[in-house]
A and B are shown apart, each in its own frame.
Chain A
């Protein structure tokens, strides 16, 4: 049986924090945001699980299946738009490294426009389905299809608002600790949405098209 022996000499021990150190705002912020993205990732994982359960033949209940209406090239265009948007944002962030404000704004503007292209394509696609009478009320399978894709689209929508807000903040406030921190977290968000889109594209659109 051992006991918990003291390892520090109490006579010489340092008792108070002498070198006043302030914690790093940006890294604390990005850590918290990373944790949020973790839960966002779980959200999508759960939605994918639901989609997996509801994508059997009988889930479509004899109604339309993705195989009947998915146009892989159309969705591929969406993919390209979103990827270019991420790339543009990356260019913007590169400009940030050089404290180049207009470079950053240009990059973000391009990212915004490309994101809008993505969203417009999505809305067009959905209204097209709606005009064919395909909605999320058609069957369990279609409910899962619609909700998964549109939850992703909603994320994109709020991301776009955020991009606008950040453009305004950079223009009015310049590069402060706060704005730079937010630009970094926005980048994390935008990247995650692109990654999730890859999964949506492969497992929902392409897979649905094939089967």
Chain B
């Protein structure tokens, strides 16, 4: 049944052997040492300050959607950093390895990365950026914001939410460990048949790729179900569909896409695994396989996926523009329709990723026209943002700058997308760095929207604003980097430079590659600025405390409750009267009206099951990658048993009494009142900074 392996296998360790650890690699070995030292320091600090209990009780076992969201965002940022380092390595290799006379070190003929390593770096870069940076960041924001925006106390399934997070973390861990144990895939983030077959990729790289993606797919599917159910079932009284905040609509459409498209990826990967593990012939060139089937299956997921990541970003922009234009979003209904149209049409365009495969002109034109149809709702969105600013009162703070940057990038990406959508153009630039520049323009829309959202929602989650000066510095450095890297990249595309070159055969491209390398340096400075931004903001947090409505011009429901948001979100659920409820209450001077009467509320308990299950899925993925069969069986059994045990135990939850709530709320209001005059250094109320525990501790001490 099982395929013959090139290389050794042992029952105890599977394919794992000492030779798989790159201890002699001049880049990885020092990095490994650094990581180990770093880990020891961090763990040591936690122990020294006695924070283990805090960490376990407040974070690792939490089911609070805000904390889970924060952890999603932390994973996303860490992976964004890792992906950025990969990008830096790619650029450095390409600027170095130009022409036959360029030097080479570390066993490579040119540059410092051999094809073996270069392939891993860009494959990991692509996979990480789309699925382990952008996706967790967006899911994190949806997690934090959606329940508050619809006036709910938590997600529909808090435990499932935690499970989704820890499975995503397991995926991130799996791809990280591939750095130091074995190798990662070499053939790009989407691989392709038949190069991922055993004959052409004999290592464990493709297997790491399969199981990492499977875990991401699983985690995202669970998250998608949760968000959809939350939006459908948990809206506050009075919140009809027409009053749903636009970010919630965006999350809804995005997760409809995720829920329906990720199974296609899971099947595609499952079939690749069948080929590689069991010797099936789904995608082999011979024996009746069909390698084009893989390409189709992958992009049937792949294209909806890119819209899954851009739609929430559009939603974020649609929140930021109105707040800092001080007027409602222009064309709410159009905006909703456009999101739904994008979600629908995104299913009908996958073939534009392989116009060059030689399908007939009828097929190609059908998909070409369908692709351009996506441009219509996308264009509508841009116009609507523009008209949101029209007759507005614009404040150009850092969050707004990021949103505007995203808008301009979207124009560029949309323009080049419409070029790629026409086969007669696509034949010339497909597989060239022009495509790379196109989708980086688009993915940067997401990155810009995310940084905008970090600035925009940070005060809501942590109770203080980030430093404007450093946020703007970071924005301008980042944008300079974007221009310096991607303008030359578009130009190189027009020069015919193809993508994924480990060695650049045309010396005429050198000047452009130089400029791009310089751009990467500027990007690096912006990363530095980001760290400074965090440091300065935390240092000065007492000065930058905010009340419920952090911006003073906010519109949707999350700005009604305290900042930071208490763990129960709303002591009394609001009744929704208007689309922009907070703006409406502010306008009519009823934003200070407090509930008169507090009732008992019911909250879910923390659970350690989710993180243990996440750890087990990591073990399972690792065991499958290395074909350690006994470990696969053990971890799978453990997963099943644990799930059954959890289902027997259930979660009764706990009650917070009305009196207790009232006490906490009054305390929060009291502190809120102090912000204005004396920059008080205590958090206004609980939430992410740890008040849930404080509450429970109070509770038990009684």
Do chains A and B directly touch (beta carbons under 8 Å) in the complex? yes
Question: What distance in Å separates the Cβ of A58 from its nearest Cβ neighbour in chain B?
Answer: 6
Answer whether residue A31 sits at the interface, using C-beta atoms and an 8 A cutoff.
Answer: yes
B-chain residues with CB within 8 Å of residue A147 when the two chains form the complex: 270-271, 274, 280, 282
Candidate in B262, B274, B640 with the most chain A CB atoms within 10 angstroms: B274
- Asked whether, in the complex, the Cβ of B288 is within 8 Å of the Cβ of A139, the reply is yes
Encoded as 1 (CB less than 8 Å from any A CB) or 0, chain B from 634 to 678 comes to 000000100010011010000000000000000000000000000
Stretch of A18-26, A75-83, A84-92, A191-199 lying at the B interface? A18-26
Which of A38, A135, A143, A169 has the most chain B CB atoms closer than 10 A to its own CB? A143
What is the number of contacts between chain A and chain B, taking CB atoms within 8 Å? 159
Taken together as a complex, chains A and B put the C-alpha atoms of A54 and B297 apart, in Å, by 13
**Residue from B225, B270, B271, B579 in contact with A36 in the complex, judged by beta carbons closer than 8 Å:** B225
Contact A46-B267, Cβ < 8 Å, known A6-B578, A16-B572, A39-B259: yes
A144 lies within 8 A of chain B by Cβ: yes
Contacts of B224 in A (CB 8 A): 35
One of B293, B593, B599 near A53 (C-beta < 8 A): B293
- The residue in chain B whose Cβ has the minimal distance to the Cβ of A46 is B267
Q: Is B93 part of the contact surface with A, judged by Cβ < 8 Å?
A: no
Are A21 and B578 in contact, with the CB atoms below 8 A? no
Per the bound structure, the CA–CA distance linking A43 and B226 in Å amounts to 19
Binds B, one of A7-15, A102-110, A116-124, A202-210: A7-15
Assess A15 versus B574: contact at CB under 8 Å? Given A31-B233, A54-B282.
yes
CB interface residues, B 212-254, toward A, < 8 Å: 221, 224-226, 228-229, 232-234, 236-238
| A63: B residues at CB distance < 8 A | 288
Are B575 and A17 in touch, CB under 8 angstroms? yes
A61 touches B233 (CB 8 A): no
Q: Judge whether B584 is part of the interface by a CB distance below 8 angstroms.
A: yes
In whole angstroms, how far apart are the Cα atoms of A18 and B573 in the complex? Answer: 8
Determine if A14 and B577 form an interchain contact, defined as CB atoms under 8 angstroms apart: yes
**Interface residue tally on B, bucketed by range:** 35 or more
Q: Does B499 contact A (CB under 8 A)?
A: no
Q: Return A29 CB to nearest CB of chain B, in Å.
A: 8
For the complex, is B278 an interface residue (Cβ under 8 Å from A)?
yes
The answer, yes or no, to whether B303 is at the interface (CB within 8 Å) is no
Asked whether A42 and B264 contact (CB < 8 A) given A13-B577, A178-B650, the answer is yes
Given contacts A15-B575, A140-B287, A141-B288, is CB(A50)–CB(B263) below 8 Å? no
Q: Is the CB of B288 within 8 A of A140?
A: yes
Write the nearest CB–CB distance from A211 to chain B, whole angstroms.
Answer: 15
Q: Is A132's CB within 8 Å of the partner chain B?
A: no
Q: Is B290 within 8 A of A165, CB to CB?
A: no
* Cβ of B7 under 8 Å from chain A: no
Q: How far is the CA of A8 from the CA of B578 in the complex (A)?
A: 8
Q: Any chain A CB within 8 A of the CB of B284?
A: yes
* Contact of A94 with B by CB under 8 A: no
**A133: Cβ under 8 A from any B Cβ:** no
A45 to B347, CA, bound (A): 14
Given known A27-B233, A43-B267, A165-B644, contact A135–B1 (CB-CB < 8 A): yes
| A188 located at the interface, meaning its Cβ lies under 8 Å from any Cβ of chain B in the complex | no
Docked CA distance A168–B648 (Å): 9
Main secondary structure of the interface of A (DSSP, over half): helix
**CB atoms of B259 and A38 under 8 A apart:** yes
Whole-angstrom distance between the alpha carbons of A53 and B585 in the complex? 58
Q: Are A14 and B297 in contact (CB under 8 A)?
A: no
Which chain B residue shows the least CB distance to A135? B1
What 0/1 readout, one digit per residue, does chain A (159-197) give for beta carbons within 8 Å of chain B? 001000100110010000010001000000000000000
Interface assignment of A125: CB less than 8 Å from any CB of chain B = no
Residue of B nearest to A43 (CB): B263
Task: Give A18 to B574 CA distance when docked, in angstroms.
Answer: 9
Asked if B357 is at the interface of the complex by the 8 Å CB criterion, the answer is no
For residue B588, CB closer than 8 A to chain A, the reply is: yes
Contact partners of A35 in chain B: CB under 8 A: 224-225, 228-229, 259
Asked if B289 CB lies within 8 Å of chain A CBs, one says yes
> What's the Cα separation between A151 and B282 when bound, in Å?
15
Nearest A residue (CB) for B286: A61
Q: Hey, which chain A residues are within 8 Å of B262, CB to CB?
A: 39
Top 6 nearest A-B pairs (CB, nearest first) are A140-B288, A10-B588, A61-B288, A143-B280, A42-B263, A137-B279
A residues touching B (Cβ–Cβ < 8 Å)? Answer: 4, 6, 8, 10, 13-18, 20-23, 27-28, 31-32, 35-36, 38-40, 42-43, 45-47, 49-50, 53-54, 58-61, 63, 135-137, 139-144, 146-147, 151, 161, 165, 168-169, 172, 178, 182
Q: Which residues of B contact A (CB under 8 A)?
A: 1, 156-157, 160, 221, 224-226, 228-229, 232-234, 236-238, 259-264, 266-268, 270-271, 274-275, 278-282, 284, 286-290, 293, 297, 300, 328, 572-575, 577-579, 584-585, 588, 590, 593, 595-596, 599, 602, 640, 644, 647-648, 650
Q: Can you list 24 A-B pairs with a CB-CB distance of less than 8 A? A: A4-B579, A6-B578, A10-B588, A10-B590, A15-B593, A17-B236, A17-B572, A28-B234, A31-B233, A32-B156, A32-B225, A35-B228, A36-B221, A36-B225, A42-B259, A42-B260, A46-B297, A63-B288, A137-B280, A139-B281, A140-B287, A144-B282, A169-B647, A169-B648
